[in-house]
Amino acid sequence: MLGAMRTFARWLLAGSLVFAGLSHLFWGRREFQAQVPDFTTKVMDKDAVVVASGVVEVMLGASLVVLPRSRSTLGAILAAFFIAVFPGNLEQYAKRRDGFGLDTDAKRLVRLFFQPALVAWAWWSTRPPKD
């Protein structure tokens, strides 16, 4: 039963990542720029960061499905990815940037609490079953 729950959670996460990644590349590109920290513009512009992170999300999401033997490693990479993008969420809150309906301080603050949940989801859903 627990294995089936993990599989379902992993596939749901994979689909969510592919969808989010595609939205980075197409219809949500401008909205995602609100979450890109200003310090990244010293290396590349915000649109390039959005595109790059979208490509990474699509690749990670697809990998969760097509590389089942690597799922533990992918889960660790994905957890690290979610931690790495967290400064963007913090900056969106601190600088009061609107994006994706996050148009109040309260909404932006609540959003911050979802990032640890994503880290936990990635980690839990990719752990190997215990015999």
pLDDT 10s digits, 26-54: 999 999 999 999 999 899 999 999 999 99
pLDDT score of 128: 85
Give the whole-angstrom CA distance, residue 118 versus residue 86: 11
**H helices of 1-131, where?**
2-25, 29-32, 46-66, 71-84, 86-94, 105-112, 114-125
Model pTM score: 0.91
Give the whole-angstrom CA distance, residue 58 versus residue 37: 21
What is the number of alpha carbons within 13 Å of residue 106 lying toward its C-beta?
Answer: 0
Using the Cα atoms of residue 11, residue 15, residue 20 and residue 22 in order, give the sign of their dihedral: positive
